[in-house]
Protein backbone atom coordinates (compact mmCIF):
# COMPACT_ATOMS: atom_id res chain seq x y z
CA UNK A 1 0.00 0.00 0.00
CA UNK A 2 1.37 3.35 -1.02
CA UNK A 3 0.69 6.69 0.50
CA UNK A 4 2.24 8.73 -2.27
CA UNK A 5 -0.16 10.61 -4.45
CA UNK A 6 1.68 12.01 -7.44
CA UNK A 7 0.03 14.64 -9.59
CA UNK A 8 -1.10 12.17 -12.24
CA UNK A 9 -2.90 10.14 -9.62
CA UNK A 10 -4.60 13.24 -8.26
CA UNK A 11 -5.86 14.05 -11.74
CA UNK A 12 -7.45 10.62 -11.97
CA UNK A 13 -8.99 11.10 -8.53
CA UNK A 14 -10.37 14.51 -9.52
CA UNK A 15 -12.32 12.82 -12.33
CA UNK A 16 -14.19 10.67 -9.81
CA UNK A 17 -15.71 13.60 -7.90
CA UNK A 18 -17.14 17.04 -8.61
CA UNK A 19 -15.26 20.34 -8.33
CA UNK A 20 -15.75 20.52 -4.55
CA UNK A 21 -14.72 16.92 -4.13
CA UNK A 22 -10.93 17.11 -3.99
CA UNK A 23 -8.78 19.29 -1.77
CA UNK A 24 -5.02 19.47 -1.50
CA UNK A 25 -4.59 22.91 0.05
CA UNK A 26 -2.56 23.14 3.25
CA UNK A 27 -5.59 24.15 5.32
CA UNK A 28 -7.52 21.08 4.26
CA UNK A 29 -4.57 18.76 4.80
CA UNK A 30 -4.08 20.16 8.29
CA UNK A 31 -7.78 20.16 9.17
CA UNK A 32 -8.67 16.73 7.80
CA UNK A 33 -5.46 15.05 8.88
CA UNK A 34 -6.07 15.12 12.61
CA UNK A 35 -8.64 14.27 15.26
CA UNK A 36 -8.89 15.56 18.84
CA UNK A 37 -5.58 13.88 19.74
CA UNK A 38 -2.37 15.83 19.26
CA UNK A 39 0.30 13.14 19.23
CA UNK A 40 0.72 12.97 15.44
CA UNK A 41 1.52 15.56 12.81
CA UNK A 42 -1.20 15.64 10.16
CA UNK A 43 0.19 14.78 6.74
CA UNK A 44 -2.44 13.39 4.35
CA UNK A 45 -1.70 13.19 0.64
CA UNK A 46 -5.09 14.64 -0.30
CA UNK A 47 -8.63 15.00 0.95
CA UNK A 48 -11.55 13.69 -1.07
CA UNK A 49 -15.14 14.66 -0.29
CA UNK A 50 -17.50 12.40 -2.22
CA UNK A 51 -21.07 13.59 -2.76
CA UNK A 52 -22.69 10.16 -3.13
CA UNK A 53 -22.32 6.52 -2.22
CA UNK A 54 -21.44 5.79 -5.85
CA UNK A 55 -18.54 8.24 -5.63
CA UNK A 56 -17.31 6.51 -2.46
CA UNK A 57 -17.35 3.20 -4.32
CA UNK A 58 -15.50 4.68 -7.29
CA UNK A 59 -12.84 6.16 -5.01
CA UNK A 60 -12.33 2.90 -3.12
CA UNK A 61 -12.05 0.91 -6.33
CA UNK A 62 -9.56 3.43 -7.69
CA UNK A 63 -7.59 3.31 -4.42
CA UNK A 64 -7.58 -0.44 -4.52
CA UNK A 65 -6.28 -0.52 -8.05
CA UNK A 66 -3.45 1.85 -7.14
CA UNK A 67 -2.90 0.52 -3.61
CA UNK A 68 -3.62 3.90 -2.03
CA UNK A 69 -4.25 3.96 1.71
CA UNK A 70 -7.60 5.52 2.72
CA UNK A 71 -8.41 7.13 6.07
CA UNK A 72 -12.20 7.41 6.48
CA UNK A 73 -13.01 10.67 8.19
CA UNK A 74 -16.06 11.87 10.12
CA UNK A 75 -16.20 14.65 12.70
CA UNK A 76 -12.64 13.78 13.83
CA UNK A 77 -13.51 14.16 17.48
CA UNK A 78 -11.94 10.80 18.27
CA UNK A 79 -9.55 10.41 21.19
CA UNK A 80 -7.48 7.43 19.99
CA UNK A 81 -6.06 8.79 16.74
CA UNK A 82 -8.29 6.48 14.73
CA UNK A 83 -8.89 9.14 12.07
CA UNK A 84 -5.51 10.83 11.85
CA UNK A 85 -3.69 10.75 8.52
CA UNK A 86 0.00 11.23 9.21
CA UNK A 87 1.60 9.22 6.43
CA UNK A 88 0.40 10.63 3.13
CA UNK A 89 -2.90 8.75 3.09
CA UNK A 90 -5.97 9.79 1.17
CA UNK A 91 -8.51 11.17 3.62
CA UNK A 92 -12.04 10.22 2.54
CA UNK A 93 -14.31 12.62 4.42
CA UNK A 94 -18.02 11.84 4.65
CA UNK A 95 -19.07 15.45 5.35
CA UNK A 96 -21.17 15.77 2.22
CA UNK A 97 -23.24 12.62 2.83
CA UNK A 98 -25.20 14.60 5.38
CA UNK A 99 -28.83 14.02 4.45
CA UNK A 100 -31.52 12.89 6.86
CA UNK A 101 -34.37 11.18 5.00
CA UNK A 102 -37.04 8.48 4.96
CA UNK A 103 -38.32 9.11 8.47
CA UNK A 104 -40.83 6.36 9.25
CA UNK A 105 -43.14 7.11 12.17
CA UNK A 106 -44.39 3.53 12.44
CA UNK A 107 -40.94 1.97 12.54
CA UNK A 108 -39.42 4.96 14.33
CA UNK A 109 -36.43 4.81 12.03
CA UNK A 110 -34.68 7.44 9.96
CA UNK A 111 -32.02 7.24 7.26
CA UNK A 112 -28.84 9.20 7.92
CA UNK A 113 -25.93 9.79 5.62
CA UNK A 114 -22.63 9.04 7.36
CA UNK A 115 -21.85 12.76 7.54
CA UNK A 116 -24.94 13.74 9.54
CA UNK A 117 -23.85 15.51 12.74
CA UNK A 118 -25.02 13.88 15.98
CA UNK A 119 -26.72 17.09 17.14
CA UNK A 120 -28.46 17.37 13.74
CA UNK A 121 -29.99 13.93 14.29
CA UNK A 122 -30.93 14.79 17.87
CA UNK A 123 -32.70 17.95 16.67
CA UNK A 124 -34.44 16.07 13.86
CA UNK A 125 -35.71 13.47 16.34
CA UNK A 126 -37.02 16.19 18.60
CA UNK A 127 -38.93 17.77 15.70
CA UNK A 128 -40.73 14.43 15.26
CA UNK A 129 -41.58 14.27 18.95
CA UNK A 130 -38.99 11.53 19.35
CA UNK A 131 -35.53 11.15 20.86
CA UNK A 132 -32.05 9.98 19.84
CA UNK A 133 -30.48 9.11 23.17
CA UNK A 134 -26.78 8.65 22.42
CA UNK A 135 -25.14 11.81 23.71
CA UNK A 136 -21.61 12.93 24.50
CA UNK A 137 -19.36 15.96 24.64
CA UNK A 138 -18.69 16.09 20.89
CA UNK A 139 -22.33 15.88 19.74
CA UNK A 140 -21.95 19.20 17.97
CA UNK A 141 -19.23 17.97 15.62
CA UNK A 142 -19.16 14.16 15.65
CA UNK A 143 -20.81 12.44 12.71
CA UNK A 144 -23.13 9.42 12.72
CA UNK A 145 -20.77 7.39 10.53
CA UNK A 146 -17.88 8.01 12.87
CA UNK A 147 -20.05 7.31 15.90
CA UNK A 148 -20.89 3.92 14.42
CA UNK A 149 -17.32 3.20 13.33
CA UNK A 150 -16.21 3.74 16.94
CA UNK A 151 -19.42 2.51 18.64
CA UNK A 152 -19.57 5.77 20.55
CA UNK A 153 -20.83 5.66 24.13
CA UNK A 154 -21.26 8.71 26.31
CA UNK A 155 -23.23 9.80 29.31
CA UNK A 156 -26.47 7.82 28.94
CA UNK A 157 -25.15 4.31 28.30
CA UNK A 158 -26.52 2.98 31.60
CA UNK A 159 -30.02 3.63 30.28
CA UNK A 160 -29.79 3.54 26.50
CA UNK A 161 -26.72 1.50 25.61
CA UNK A 162 -24.05 2.36 23.05
CA UNK A 163 -24.42 3.59 19.45
CA UNK A 164 -24.52 -0.11 18.48
CA UNK A 165 -27.97 -0.42 20.01
CA UNK A 166 -29.50 2.22 17.73
CA UNK A 167 -28.26 1.01 14.35
CA UNK A 168 -31.11 -0.79 12.58
CA UNK A 169 -29.40 -0.87 9.22
CA UNK A 170 -26.02 -0.06 7.77
CA UNK A 171 -24.63 0.60 4.30
CA UNK A 172 -20.92 -0.04 4.04
CA UNK A 173 -18.45 0.13 1.16
CA UNK A 174 -15.90 -2.61 1.85
CA UNK A 175 -12.20 -2.39 1.10
CA UNK A 176 -13.03 -4.31 -2.09
CA UNK A 177 -15.38 -1.50 -3.18
CA UNK A 178 -18.53 -3.55 -2.68
CA UNK A 179 -21.63 -1.91 -1.22
CA UNK A 180 -23.24 -3.95 1.55
CA UNK A 181 -26.80 -3.14 2.67
CA UNK A 182 -26.91 -4.75 6.11
CA UNK A 183 -30.09 -5.56 8.05
CA UNK A 184 -32.26 -2.88 6.37
CA UNK A 185 -34.06 -1.83 9.56
CA UNK A 186 -35.30 -5.27 10.57
CA UNK A 187 -35.96 -5.89 14.26
CA UNK A 188 -35.69 -9.64 13.76
CA UNK A 189 -33.32 -11.12 11.22
CA UNK A 190 -31.52 -14.42 11.82
CA UNK A 191 -30.52 -15.06 8.23
CA UNK A 192 -26.77 -15.57 8.58
CA UNK A 193 -23.90 -13.78 10.31
CA UNK A 194 -24.70 -10.30 11.57
CA UNK A 195 -22.10 -8.33 9.61
CA UNK A 196 -23.67 -5.09 10.83
CA UNK A 197 -22.42 -5.73 14.34
CA UNK A 198 -18.99 -6.66 12.99
CA UNK A 199 -18.78 -3.29 11.21
CA UNK A 200 -19.86 -1.32 14.29
CA UNK A 201 -16.72 -0.38 16.19
CA UNK A 202 -14.34 -1.55 13.44
CA UNK A 203 -12.83 1.94 13.15
CA UNK A 204 -12.80 2.12 9.36
CA UNK A 205 -10.48 -0.86 9.00
CA UNK A 206 -13.03 -3.10 7.22
CA UNK A 207 -14.92 -0.60 5.14
CA UNK A 208 -16.46 2.84 5.00
CA UNK A 209 -19.83 3.36 6.64
CA UNK A 210 -21.79 5.49 4.18
CA UNK A 211 -25.33 5.39 5.54
CA UNK A 212 -27.30 4.11 8.50
CA UNK A 213 -30.89 3.48 9.48
CA UNK A 214 -31.15 4.80 13.02
CA UNK A 215 -33.82 3.87 15.53
CA UNK A 216 -35.47 6.66 17.51
CA UNK A 217 -37.61 6.31 20.58
CA UNK A 218 -40.19 8.15 22.63
CA UNK A 219 -38.58 10.96 24.64
CA UNK A 220 -38.04 10.49 28.36
CA UNK A 221 -40.34 12.41 30.69
CA UNK A 222 -39.47 14.58 33.68
CA UNK A 223 -36.06 13.98 35.21
CA UNK A 224 -34.02 15.33 38.08
CA UNK A 225 -30.30 15.50 38.80
CA UNK A 226 -28.61 14.82 42.14
CA UNK A 227 -24.98 15.37 43.10
CA UNK A 228 -23.82 13.46 46.17
CA UNK A 229 -20.54 13.66 48.11
CA UNK A 230 -19.10 10.28 49.15
CA UNK A 231 -16.12 9.34 51.35
CA UNK A 232 -14.65 6.65 49.06
CA UNK A 233 -15.21 4.56 45.94
CA UNK A 234 -16.86 1.74 47.87
CA UNK A 235 -19.49 4.24 48.97
CA UNK A 236 -20.04 5.35 45.36
CA UNK A 237 -20.81 1.75 44.46
CA UNK A 238 -23.22 1.38 47.38
CA UNK A 239 -25.01 4.53 46.26
CA UNK A 240 -25.27 3.14 42.73
CA UNK A 241 -26.75 -0.13 43.98
CA UNK A 242 -29.21 1.67 46.27
CA UNK A 243 -30.52 4.06 43.62
CA UNK A 244 -30.58 1.52 40.80
CA UNK A 245 -33.07 -0.56 42.75
CA UNK A 246 -35.36 2.35 43.62
CA UNK A 247 -35.43 4.77 40.66
CA UNK A 248 -34.96 4.61 36.91
CA UNK A 249 -31.44 5.90 36.30
CA UNK A 250 -30.73 7.87 33.13
CA UNK A 251 -27.10 8.41 34.09
CA UNK A 252 -24.75 7.61 36.96
CA UNK A 253 -21.45 9.48 36.70
CA UNK A 254 -18.65 10.13 39.14
CA UNK A 255 -15.71 12.50 39.56
CA UNK A 256 -13.03 13.08 42.15
CA UNK A 257 -12.53 16.12 44.40
CA UNK A 258 -9.44 16.94 42.33
CA UNK A 259 -11.64 17.07 39.20
CA UNK A 260 -14.28 19.20 40.93
CA UNK A 261 -11.70 21.61 42.31
CA UNK A 262 -10.31 22.23 38.83
CA UNK A 263 -13.75 22.83 37.30
CA UNK A 264 -14.81 25.16 40.12
CA UNK A 265 -11.59 27.14 39.85
CA UNK A 266 -11.35 27.44 36.07
CA UNK A 267 -15.00 27.51 34.92
CA UNK A 268 -16.21 29.81 37.67
CA UNK A 269 -18.88 27.31 38.74
CA UNK A 270 -20.11 27.17 42.34
CA UNK A 271 -19.50 24.02 44.34
CA UNK A 272 -22.65 21.87 44.58
CA UNK A 273 -22.47 22.18 48.41
CA UNK A 274 -19.87 23.22 50.98
CA UNK A 275 -18.79 19.78 52.16
CA UNK A 276 -15.66 18.50 50.43
CA UNK A 277 -15.80 14.77 49.70
CA UNK A 278 -13.25 12.43 48.13
CA UNK A 279 -15.63 11.48 45.30
CA UNK A 280 -18.91 12.76 43.92
CA UNK A 281 -21.70 10.87 42.20
CA UNK A 282 -23.95 12.60 39.69
CA UNK A 283 -27.28 10.86 39.14
CA UNK A 284 -29.98 11.64 36.65
CA UNK A 285 -33.23 9.77 37.17
CA UNK A 286 -36.82 9.75 35.97
CA UNK A 287 -39.40 11.63 38.03
CA UNK A 288 -42.70 10.72 36.40
CA UNK A 289 -44.64 11.43 39.62
CA UNK A 290 -44.28 12.50 43.25
CA UNK A 291 -43.82 8.89 44.26
CA UNK A 292 -40.61 8.68 42.26
CA UNK A 293 -39.35 11.95 43.78
CA UNK A 294 -40.16 10.63 47.25
CA UNK A 295 -38.40 7.34 46.55
CA UNK A 296 -35.27 9.21 45.49
CA UNK A 297 -35.28 11.38 48.60
CA UNK A 298 -35.86 8.37 50.85
CA UNK A 299 -32.96 6.63 49.14
CA UNK A 300 -30.78 9.70 49.68
CA UNK A 301 -31.59 9.63 53.40
CA UNK A 302 -30.88 5.90 53.54
CA UNK A 303 -27.47 6.53 51.96
CA UNK A 304 -26.69 9.33 54.44
CA UNK A 305 -27.63 7.13 57.40
CA UNK A 306 -25.47 4.31 56.05
CA UNK A 307 -22.51 6.69 55.88
CA UNK A 308 -22.19 6.43 52.10
CA UNK A 309 -23.21 10.05 51.46
CA UNK A 310 -21.79 13.10 53.24
CA UNK A 311 -23.82 15.78 51.51
CA UNK A 312 -26.02 16.22 48.49
CA UNK A 313 -28.11 18.47 46.29
CA UNK A 314 -31.19 17.84 44.13
CA UNK A 315 -32.05 19.96 41.10
CA UNK A 316 -35.32 21.89 41.40
CA UNK A 317 -35.44 23.04 37.78
CA UNK A 318 -34.08 22.20 34.37
CA UNK A 319 -31.65 25.09 34.75
CA UNK A 320 -30.31 23.70 38.02
CA UNK A 321 -30.04 20.26 36.48
CA UNK A 322 -27.97 21.69 33.62
CA UNK A 323 -25.74 23.58 36.05
CA UNK A 324 -25.05 20.41 37.99
CA UNK A 325 -24.24 18.53 34.79
CA UNK A 326 -21.59 21.16 33.97
CA UNK A 327 -19.62 20.05 37.04
CA UNK A 328 -19.13 16.74 35.28
CA UNK A 329 -19.18 17.71 31.61
CA UNK A 330 -16.74 20.59 31.86
CA UNK A 331 -13.96 18.44 33.35
CA UNK A 332 -12.48 17.37 30.02
CA UNK A 333 -12.24 20.88 28.64
CA UNK A 334 -10.96 22.28 31.94
CA UNK A 335 -8.05 19.88 32.26
CA UNK A 336 -7.08 20.14 28.61
CA UNK A 337 -4.63 22.96 29.57
CA UNK A 338 -2.49 20.30 31.30
CA UNK A 339 -2.44 18.24 28.07
CA UNK A 340 -3.62 15.18 30.00
CA UNK A 341 -2.64 11.68 29.06
CA UNK A 342 -6.05 10.00 28.81
CA UNK A 343 -6.92 6.45 29.62
CA UNK A 344 -10.41 5.12 29.00
CA UNK A 345 -10.65 1.86 30.88
CA UNK A 346 -13.48 -0.37 32.02
CA UNK A 347 -14.20 -3.49 33.96
CA UNK A 348 -17.41 -4.97 35.30
CA UNK A 349 -19.16 -2.59 37.69
CA UNK A 350 -18.49 -4.82 40.69
CA UNK A 351 -14.73 -4.79 40.07
CA UNK A 352 -14.37 -1.01 39.61
CA UNK A 353 -13.32 -0.18 43.21
CA UNK A 354 -10.58 -2.85 43.21
CA UNK A 355 -9.34 -1.73 39.78
CA UNK A 356 -9.25 1.93 40.80
CA UNK A 357 -7.35 1.12 44.00
CA UNK A 358 -4.76 -0.89 42.08
CA UNK A 359 -4.33 1.77 39.43
CA UNK A 360 -3.94 4.48 42.10
CA UNK A 361 -1.26 2.40 43.74
CA UNK A 362 0.62 1.88 40.49
CA UNK A 363 0.59 5.59 39.78
CA UNK A 364 1.35 6.90 43.26
CA UNK A 365 4.13 4.35 43.90
CA UNK A 366 5.96 4.96 40.65
CA UNK A 367 5.00 8.48 39.65
CA UNK A 368 4.37 10.48 42.81
CA UNK A 369 4.91 13.75 40.90
CA UNK A 370 1.92 13.11 38.62
CA UNK A 371 -1.48 14.55 39.37
CA UNK A 372 -4.38 12.21 38.60
CA UNK A 373 -7.91 13.27 37.68
CA UNK A 374 -10.57 10.56 37.86
CA UNK A 375 -14.01 10.81 36.35
CA UNK A 376 -16.31 8.71 34.25
CA UNK A 377 -19.36 6.61 33.69
CA UNK A 378 -19.18 4.53 36.81
CA UNK A 379 -22.65 3.04 36.28
CA UNK A 380 -21.21 1.24 33.22
CA UNK A 381 -17.87 0.28 34.78
CA UNK A 382 -16.10 2.88 32.63
CA UNK A 383 -13.63 5.32 34.20
CA UNK A 384 -11.40 7.92 32.64
CA UNK A 385 -7.95 8.19 34.16
CA UNK A 386 -6.31 11.48 33.28
CA UNK A 387 -2.67 12.07 34.10
CA UNK A 388 -1.82 15.80 34.14
CA UNK A 389 1.53 16.99 32.88
CA UNK A 390 3.63 18.63 35.62
CA UNK A 391 4.32 22.15 34.38
CA UNK A 392 8.07 21.76 34.59
CA UNK A 393 8.21 18.51 32.62
CA UNK A 394 8.94 18.51 28.90
CA UNK A 395 6.20 17.04 26.65
CA UNK A 396 8.43 14.25 25.32
CA UNK A 397 9.48 13.20 28.76
CA UNK A 398 5.85 13.31 29.94
CA UNK A 399 4.64 11.16 27.02
CA UNK A 400 7.42 8.65 27.61
CA UNK A 401 6.70 8.32 31.30
CA UNK A 402 2.95 8.09 30.67
CA UNK A 403 3.64 5.20 28.33
CA UNK A 404 5.32 3.46 31.25
CA UNK A 405 2.36 4.27 33.48
CA UNK A 406 0.05 2.75 30.87
CA UNK A 407 1.79 -0.61 31.07
CA UNK A 408 1.13 -0.73 34.81
CA UNK A 409 -2.43 0.50 34.40
CA UNK A 410 -3.22 -2.03 31.68
CA UNK A 411 -1.66 -4.83 33.73
CA UNK A 412 -4.26 -4.04 36.38
CA UNK A 413 -7.00 -3.80 33.73
CA UNK A 414 -6.03 -7.22 32.40
CA UNK A 415 -6.05 -8.73 35.90
CA UNK A 416 -9.65 -7.54 36.21
CA UNK A 417 -10.72 -8.81 32.80
CA UNK A 418 -11.28 -5.23 31.70
CA UNK A 419 -10.97 -3.22 28.52
CA UNK A 420 -8.11 -0.92 27.53
CA UNK A 421 -10.66 1.08 25.56
CA UNK A 422 -14.17 1.27 26.93
CA UNK A 423 -15.51 3.80 24.44
CA UNK A 424 -12.73 5.71 22.66
CA UNK A 425 -11.64 2.87 20.38
CA UNK A 426 -8.10 1.68 19.67
CA UNK A 427 -6.84 3.71 16.72
CA UNK A 428 -3.10 4.36 16.80
CA UNK A 429 -2.82 5.36 20.45
CA UNK A 430 -4.13 2.17 22.07
CA UNK A 431 -2.90 -0.30 19.47
CA UNK A 432 0.30 -1.20 21.38
CA UNK A 433 -1.87 -2.21 24.34
CA UNK A 434 -4.55 -4.24 22.58
CA UNK A 435 -3.00 -7.48 23.87
CA UNK A 436 -3.98 -6.52 27.41
CA UNK A 437 -7.65 -6.87 26.44
CA UNK A 438 -7.62 -9.34 23.57
CA UNK A 439 -5.82 -12.68 23.32
CA UNK A 440 -3.24 -13.43 20.64
CA UNK A 441 -5.80 -15.77 19.04
CA UNK A 442 -8.40 -13.00 18.91
CA UNK A 443 -5.97 -10.50 17.42
CA UNK A 444 -4.94 -13.05 14.78
CA UNK A 445 -8.60 -13.70 13.92
CA UNK A 446 -9.26 -9.95 13.67
CA UNK A 447 -6.35 -9.56 11.25
CA UNK A 448 -7.72 -12.38 9.10
CA UNK A 449 -11.21 -10.85 9.15
CA UNK A 450 -9.67 -7.58 8.01
CA UNK A 451 -8.14 -9.36 5.03
CA UNK A 452 -11.57 -10.76 4.11
CA UNK A 453 -13.14 -7.31 3.87
CA UNK A 454 -10.04 -5.41 2.82
CA UNK A 455 -7.93 -7.78 0.75
CA UNK A 456 -5.41 -5.12 -0.26
CA UNK A 457 -5.06 -3.50 3.13
CA UNK A 458 -6.11 -0.03 1.98
CA UNK A 459 -8.68 0.67 4.71
CA UNK A 460 -7.26 2.81 7.52
CA UNK A 461 -4.03 0.78 7.57
CA UNK A 462 -2.10 0.71 10.84
CA UNK A 463 -5.12 1.65 12.94
CA UNK A 464 -6.33 -0.88 15.51
CA UNK A 465 -4.25 -3.68 13.94
CA UNK A 466 -0.73 -3.85 12.58
CA UNK A 467 -1.90 -6.03 9.69
x/- letters, 347..376, toward its own copies (CB under 8 A): xxxx--------------------------
- Cα–Cα distances in angstroms (integers) from residue 318 to residues 59, 248, 315, 325, in the given order: 48, 18, 7, 11
Q: For its own copies, which residue of 6, 192, 270, 368 counts as binding (CB under 8 A)?
A: 192
Q: Which of 422, 412, 398, 396 minimizes the C-alpha distance to 360?
A: 412
- Judged by CB under 8 A, does residue 245 bind its own copies? yes
Q: Which of residues 73-132 bind its own copies (CB under 8 A)?
A: 104, 106-107, 109
Q: For its own copies, which residue of 145, 201, 204, 462 counts as binding (CB under 8 A)?
A: 201
Q: For its own copies, which is the closer residue by CB, 315 or 386? A: 386
End-to-end, the C-alpha distance of the chain in Å comes to: 12
- Judged by CB under 8 A, does residue 378 bind its own copies? no
Least distance (Å) from its own copies to the CB of residue 138? 15
Helices marked H in 289-428 — which ranges?
A: 290-305, 318-329, 331-335, 352-366, 395-415
d(CA 298, CA 381): 25
168 touches 152 (CB < 8 A) = no
Q: Which of residues 415-444 bind its own copies (CB under 8 A)?
A: 417-426, 430, 434, 437-439, 441-443
* Torsions phi, psi for 446 (to 5 deg): -60, -45
Q: For its own copies, which residue of 61, 66, 197, 415 counts as binding (CB under 8 A)?
A: 197
x/- letters, 216..235, toward its own copies (CB under 8 A): --x-----------------
Q: Which of residues 280-309 bind its own copies (CB under 8 A)?
A: none
Q: For its own copies, which is the closer residue by CB, 271 or 435? A: 435
Q: For its own copies, which residue of 174, 230, 277, 315 counts as binding (CB under 8 A)?
A: 174
d(CA 148, CA 170): 9
Sorted by sequence, the CB contacts under 8 Å of residue 196 that are 6+ apart come out as: 167, 169, 170, 182, 183
40 touches 81 (CB < 8 A) = yes
Q: For its own copies, which residue of 380, 385, 405, 460 counts as binding (CB under 8 A)?
A: 380
Least distance (Å) from its own copies to the CB of residue 168? 8
Q: How many residues bind its own copies (CB under 8 A)?
A: 73
Looking at residue 238, the DSSP 8-state letter turns out to be H
Amino acid sequence: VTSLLPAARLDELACLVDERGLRTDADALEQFGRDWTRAHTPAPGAVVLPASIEEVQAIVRWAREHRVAIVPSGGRSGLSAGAVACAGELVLALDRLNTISDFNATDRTVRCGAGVITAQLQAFAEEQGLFYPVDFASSGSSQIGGNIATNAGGIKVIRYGMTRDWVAGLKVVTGAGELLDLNRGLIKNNAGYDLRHLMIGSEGTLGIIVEALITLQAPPGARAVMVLGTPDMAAVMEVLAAFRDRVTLEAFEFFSEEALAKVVEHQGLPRPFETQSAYYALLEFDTPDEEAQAAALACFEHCVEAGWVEDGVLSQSLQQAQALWRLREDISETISRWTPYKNDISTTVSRVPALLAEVEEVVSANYPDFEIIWFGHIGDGNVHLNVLKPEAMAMDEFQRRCGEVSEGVFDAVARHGGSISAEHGVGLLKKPYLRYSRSAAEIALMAQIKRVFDPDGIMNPGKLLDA
